[in-house]
Amino acid sequence: MSEFEPQIVAFFCNWCTFTAADLAGTSRLSYPPNLKIIRVMCTGMVDPKFVIKAFLHGADGVLIGGCWPGDCHYINGNLKARRRVANLTEVLKQYGIGEDRFWLRWIAASEGTMLQEVAKDMTEKLKQLGPSPLRNLGQIAV
């Protein structure tokens, strides 16, 4: 039986983290294929419903990656994202999705290695945790 491969939906901001992922790609830094990257313009545009949707439809983890505080291309979108993520984390806990499954990380455009590390860390962590408790729900819903 093959090992459990978690699915991570990653919302990356266009200016910093997505660029970092691109950099990791072009510098041939390998990161686990478990990351399903979705480009958004800013972490501030990540609606909580996207995260909930991802969990409901079988994601084992959600990673939001944006610019460091003070570095947002849109002034303060990342700070708004941080506030939203904090709220949403509390809500998700009620449904069995712990903090371990929902990450917010700041990764700047030049930090390709950091992206690699975060991707590896999260995949490892989720492998230990096993599939998301909501995964069944998603499968049944489909």
**Binding region for other proteins (CB under 8 A):** 1-2, 4-5, 7, 9, 14-15, 19-20, 22-23, 25-33, 36, 38, 40-42, 44-50, 53-54, 57-59, 67-68, 70-71, 73-77, 80, 84, 108-114, 130-131, 135-136, 139, 142
Residue 89 Cβ vs other proteins, minimum distance, rounded to whole Å: 16
Residue 38 Cβ vs other proteins, minimum distance, rounded to whole Å: 6
Q: Which of 78, 68, 59, 66 is nearest to 123 (CA)?
A: 59
Q: Which of 24, 3, 17 is nearest to 105 (CA)?
A: 17
73 vs 125, beta carbon nearer other proteins? 73
Q: Which of 117, 94, 99, 121 is nearest to 107 (CA)?
A: 117
Residue 113 Cβ vs other proteins, minimum distance, rounded to whole Å: 4
Six token digits for residue 22: 């691109």
42 vs 122, beta carbon nearer other proteins? 42
Residue 48 Cβ vs other proteins, minimum distance, rounded to whole Å: 8
Integer Cα distance of 4 and 137 in angstroms: 18
41 vs 90, beta carbon nearer other proteins? 41
Six token digits for residue 113: 């290695």
Residue 76 Cβ vs other proteins, minimum distance, rounded to whole Å: 6
Q: Cα-atom radius of gyration of the chain, to the nearest Å? A: 15
Six token digits for residue 102: 């929902």
Integer Cα distance of 15 and 141 in angstroms: 35
21 vs 93, beta carbon nearer other proteins? 21
